[in-house]
Amino acid sequence: MNDRHTLTLDAIRIALDGKTLIAIDSEVGPGEVLTVMGPSGSGKSTLLAYLAGFLSPAFQARGRVRLDGRDITDRPAEQRDIGLLFQDPLLFPHLSVAGNLRFGLPRRTPDKAARIDQALAEVGLADYGERDPATLSGGQKARVALMRLLLSAPCAVLLDEPFSRLDTQLRQEMRQLVFSRLRDAGLPSLLVTHDREDADAAGGRVIELKD
């Protein structure tokens, strides 16, 4: 995970019924977190859906999404090399903790068991590999979801208010963990949130959606 990547939002405009919801033109560099802030209904999640490749046909969108200069706008979501972190960790209930992490690893990854053990140790869950996700706390689930994302080796990351369902202390811990990991991996990231503390913790540029 030493590669350095760049995510470019090239003159993106998204409208619904002829009314523009989002207009953004920006570049997110290696290890940078760009925060898009705004109240509910302002179009934050709509922007993420367009970048990730699953925007509803009801919207009218133009502009290009580029990853390391490559135009990925018309690629299906699974071919974009973009990782997603949501409010809900979305762990697979029928898989163990280790099974969830194994799902994130590329198919030809060597020494998968060792990679999984290392990932769990890095977030303080060294003995949790065989645990049922249902037995984990909210913070533990969030850590597993983060490591599953990083093990999938994305080239960029989208974060959809990933801290909003955590209590105050845990929210602070997860902000520090997530943003430090993304910086260390050199991943360009886009965070959407309505929480100013999220934006402050991210430490990057902030775009505020108004009116």
pLDDT tens-place string over residues 96-153: 999 999 999 988 888 999 999 999 999 999 999 999 999 999 999 999 999 999 999 9
Q: Which residues pair with 8 in a beta bridge?
A: 27, 66
pLDDT band (50, 70, 90) for residue 13: very high
Which of 57, 71, 52, 53 is closest to 15 using CA atoms?
57
Q: What is the pLDDT of residue 166?
A: 86
**What does residue 187 show for φ and ψ, rounded to 5 degrees?**
-95, 125
Rounded CA-CA distance 154/151 in Å is: 8
CA distances, 121 to each of 86, 133, 143, 162, 166 (Å):
23, 17, 11, 22, 22
Instruction: Provide the CA 171 distance to its chain's centre, in angstroms.
Output: 16
Average of pLDDT values for 24-31?
96
pLDDT band (50, 70, 90) for residue 211: low
Helix (H, G, I), strand (E, B) or coil at 5: coil
Average of pLDDT values for 146-165?
93
pLDDT band (50, 70, 90) for residue 41: confident
Among the ranges given (18-27, 31-40, 103-112), the one the predictor scored with the smallest mean pLDDT: 103-112
Average of pLDDT values for 180-186?
93
CATH no. of 7-208: 3.40.50.300
Rounded CA-CA distance 42/211 in Å is: 8
Q: What is the pLDDT of residue 2?
A: 46
Q: How many CB atoms lie within 10 A of CB 47?
A: 25
Half-sphere exposure of 182 (CA within 13 A, CB side): 34
Mean residue pLDDT of the chain comes to: 92
179 burial (CB, 10 Å; 0-12 / 13-18 / 19+) is: buried
Contact 26, 3 (CB under 8 A): no
Longest C-alpha distance within the chain, in Å?
53
Q: What is the pLDDT of residue 1?
A: 44
And the tokens for 168? 């105050």
β-pair type (33-37, 189-193): parallel
Report the run of H or E that residue 156 belongs to, with start and end.
strand 156-160
Q: What is the pLDDT of residue 168?
A: 86
β-pair type (7-16, 156-160): unpaired
